[in-house]
Structure 1
């Protein structure tokens, strides 16, 4: 919760104003029982109707002040809580945007969504309750005790005896509640994960007829959350009756002993009525505190989960301020080695090659050989373990990440499109791209024809995840997005797999003419996609086992020969 308290500091003036308003409201509420006792003793008992009306109007005025203060308190407390929630969400988003892929995997997408939504909401609700109720509780408790002591000090001993029992009940609830609330948030993460997997993988689930199994998995996650939520609600349901029982028992004893003191002439009826009202205010303050101790454990769990994201021990990416010269057009891998965090074996080991401007460098190898990992090191999605990558003679760790990534047009394995129009998605690569540039890039990527046949052309809206487009169409739009950027390096990570051979061939021919001023890196599974590359890098279990043209590798590289033999006939190999 300390992290949340830091966010509250930016609202310190509003919180000081809330303190003042709560103080005024507390004074008005504490003044009402005294006025009521005065009406009874000096108005009702003496039959003075005029005095009853006079004090009654004063009571109405005092109550109106309390109501007005309550409205202002609710307004400003909500303003602070919503502002804190907004700032936390902004900071989470900013922090997560800079996460490495490993850090994303460490927490998990489903958990990050829950932390940004549900956990922040829990903190907001707790903040409102703290500002509205918890701040008022001390005023009401201390003020009520002072006023009760002023009415009858001896009778106040009953309150002092009752308070330890209430405090013990609160401590027991707190001890029981914290682990339960931890369990609720973890099970909420699990339910969110299962929901997300079912929604994003609905086609796979249906194609394998696994609907029944997935419903069972969802039911299990849902039942786990339901069971622990019921335990939490039972605890909360037990809290209020327990507090009411303690309060009513206290009032019974006060009426009993108060009646004895009235018989002895040590106390007036009005004072006893006022005393009972003060006891009720004291108990109400303790009840507010007990409710906070029910809410705070869950908010504390949520705050800790938020803190884990904001203070995650992250890999600090080294950045310099060197400028990368645009003229040379050379990418060098110099004895590059990379281990995934926590891995015993390297994903890549001693990779060394040079890719030049105007040339196509292809990377091929079996599944798990490290092809995607290799190209993801160029935009520094991961940090090297050893070795150096240089672009135009500059170590990529000695330049800033924005400058480095501005020079890269990256097309990932899985085509990802954003909600919005086709134009919006293409301009994601270059915000100020002209219509002519967009059409030109789409023509190169063999996408212009299908776009123009859509109902609204380039203004056609794309559904979430590109659900209204085919795999090949999504892949071509991803390529357009990279082309319109006109970068120094193009990285195509198995980006032609969803295309038919005819479209693939046309696209590659158009690309070859378009990318003569750039370095082109192509990761592919199909030999037919790389056989015309200027150089082909062959990977096997993270090691570079060959480099050369298709003809050279067919002649002298065993791994490449096996890949070729598995995909092409003898005529095609020749």
Structure 2
């Protein structure tokens, strides 16, 4: 895990290496100064040797400035390295999830991925900065201080042989107890993020139904769950403070008591005791720094494991070696296809057999939950089949390079999504190099050009996040135009004209027939009027193909199609009478 995460340091590695070197210089000088101070007291101040004091004082002053410069440089380099590491890690994580299938996103949940990209990476950034600065400083200070203490007085320095292991054992026990709790904390952060996202995305519904109080309660419950575990984890980690203070003051008392007795006995110089007390403070300060480092490492370890879990997750959809990079035509064939979602043991599609010729227009209709969307999502490999196979252009979709396949299969999903930016920028998601003329042509086919030109800034009109400043029908037409700009061999409209009036819908169908005769078109619709002019209509019922035929054939032969047709005709007549 450490090696995988460390790969994200990359071009900032030199900064990460320079920082500990500067820390070493700073720490060595800092721990050498008490030794010089002892000599100044014993050889300069007590005998009254002013020249020795001045000479040693000047030397200490220069060393102090070098130490300060090293500390400042270490802070600068560690900050730059940690910020760069976080930037790269965020990029690597985000880049990795772009290859996830729909099933993979369901495995982690969107809210959990957002927390990992933000809170978890921030924790790791802080831990990394500590690692290359504080975590380098503390052990060096500990080693240098103990070494210098033994140089001053080996007998008195033996106290560190007892105090340091005692502190280390206490910290180890605390971390072992606290670490599992922080993993629970971030799992509960996922829950809070989910509540907040649902509230903000559905804020219009929340306000319409006056459910703000209910949403507030959900947020309060999620926050309380975090507080419950986080406070418990923090209380455990804070135990290191009294343990450290007990060891620190015990060590100082020992040194002061026995050191004073030895000075009185004439076996120790006052300067030696002063330097030993200084080294004791340095040792205990380094232990304090280490305890803080361990606290942060304990917190960040849970975050690191969560990020590593995503980075090491292999998508269920992969491009094979020697993948096909050319789709011959828009021919589609389902051969004995079964499918169910990973977390669902109910089979959604049963033994689907269907051949669609290139250039055909196919309508797909059926009751809610019959498997219409699931069926078409298998064509661009948004999911893989459990049994059987799906062919496109005469080849199994699993043999294609995924990018090639999806460039040739353009799909307008039920949930239409527009991004922040101008209309032109949104349309160019279909083809980033499309000319203005191509934008207009695609918009005309989707019956979107007129309403776009009626806007104050036309194609440069700014679209708010999610397309909140355009109507549902306008959003659908824009996403259809965007899909057409890919110039795919297969176009799939998944109930993509449900918010469009029937007249505009018929104009879209006519434009497809007249302008796109060689493109295979699959149209999922709830309205029979949207598919009745199709070459063939597929009727799905409970994940099975019940019938295939033209509108007139199905009216004569299929009872389900007849029921849907009659219910819509009667509903239309009733509406007309009203």
Query: Which TM class, normalised by the smaller chain length?
Result: over 0.9
CA distance in 2, matches of 1:85, 1:57: 42
CA contact (8 A) 1:318 1:397 kept: yes
CA distance in 2, matches of 1:158, 1:292: 24
What's the offset of the Cα at 1:24? Answer: 1.5
User: Residue by residue, what CA displacement relative to the aligned partner does 1:230-262 show, whole Å, maximum 9, x if unpaired?
Assistant: 334444544335423421221121111100110
Cα separation, partners in 2 of 1:178 and 1:397, compared to 1, 3 Å: same
Corresponding residue for 1:113? Answer: 114
CA distance in 1, matches of 2:450, 2:242: 71
**Residue 321 (structure 1) aligned to one of 314, 320, 323:** 323
Q: CA RMSD in A?
A: 2.0
CA distance in 1, matches of 2:395, 2:170: 66
Q: Are 1:445 and 2:431 matched, yes or no?
A: no
CA contact (8 A) 2:327 2:405 kept: no
SS in 2 for 1:135: helix
Moved more, 153-162 or 430-439: 153-162
What's the offset of the Cα at 1:16? Answer: 4.0
CA distance in 2, matches of 1:399, 1:179: 43
What's the offset of the Cα at 1:427? Answer: 0.6
What's the offset of the Cα at 1:108? Answer: 0.4
- 1:125-524 map, 5 Å: 125-319=126-320, 320-324=322-326, 326=328, 328-524=329-525
CA distance in 1, matches of 2:240, 2:358: 72
Corresponding residue for 2:29? Answer: 28
SS in 1 for 2:447: coil
User: Residue by residue, what CA displacement relative to the aligned partner does 1:240-287 show, whole Å, maximum 9, x if unpaired?
Assistant: 354234212211211111001101111100111011111111111111
Cα separation, partners in 2 of 1:373 and 1:140, compared to 1, 3 Å: same
CA contact (8 A) 1:324 1:391 kept: no
TM-score by length of 2: 0.94
CA distance in 1, matches of 2:294, 2:330: 63
Q: Are 1:556 and 2:549 matched, yes or no?
A: no
Moved more, 341-350 or 134-143: 341-350
What's the offset of the Cα at 1:550? Answer: 1.0
SS in 2 for 1:332: strand
CA distance in 2, matches of 1:481, 1:6: 37
Q: Are 1:65 and 2:69 matched, yes or no?
A: no
Corresponding residue for 1:54? Answer: 55
Cα separation, partners in 2 of 1:38 and 1:210, compared to 1, 3 Å: same
Cα separation, partners in 2 of 1:427 and 1:313, compared to 1, 3 Å: closer
What's the offset of the Cα at 1:198? Answer: 0.3
Cα separation, partners in 2 of 1:417 and 1:8, compared to 1, 3 Å: closer
Corresponding residue for 2:535? Answer: 534
CA contact (8 A) 1:324 1:392 kept: no
SS in 2 for 1:568: helix
CA contact (8 A) 2:99 2:315 kept: no
What's the offset of the Cα at 1:132? Answer: 0.5
User: Residue by residue, what CA displacement relative to the aligned partner does 1:157-214 show, whole Å, maximum 9, x if unpaired?
Assistant: 2222222331232123212321232222122111111110100011121222211111
* Count of matched residue pairs: 571
Cα separation, partners in 2 of 1:433 and 1:95, compared to 1, 3 Å: same
Mark the runs of 5 or more structure 1 residues left unpaired by the alignment: none
Cα separation, partners in 2 of 1:195 and 1:279, compared to 1, 3 Å: same
Moved more, 393-402 or 145-154: 393-402
CA contact (8 A) 1:173 1:294 kept: no
CA distance in 1, matches of 2:22, 2:390: 62
CA contact (8 A) 2:100 2:317 kept: no
Cα separation, partners in 2 of 1:386 and 1:516, compared to 1, 3 Å: same
Cα separation, partners in 2 of 1:133 and 1:63, compared to 1, 3 Å: same
CA distance in 2, matches of 1:484, 1:455: 24
SS in 2 for 1:569: helix
Moved more, 276-285 or 103-112: 276-285
Mark the runs of 5 or more structure 2 residues left unpaired by the alignment: 574-578
Cα separation, partners in 2 of 1:9 and 1:510, compared to 1, 3 Å: closer
SS in 1 for 2:154: coil
CA distance in 2, matches of 1:280, 1:329: 77
What's the offset of the Cα at 1:15? Answer: 4.2
CA contact (8 A) 2:9 2:84 kept: no
SS in 1 for 2:44: helix
CA distance in 1, matches of 2:258, 2:571: 107
Corresponding residue for 1:84? Answer: 85
TM-score by length of 1: 0.95
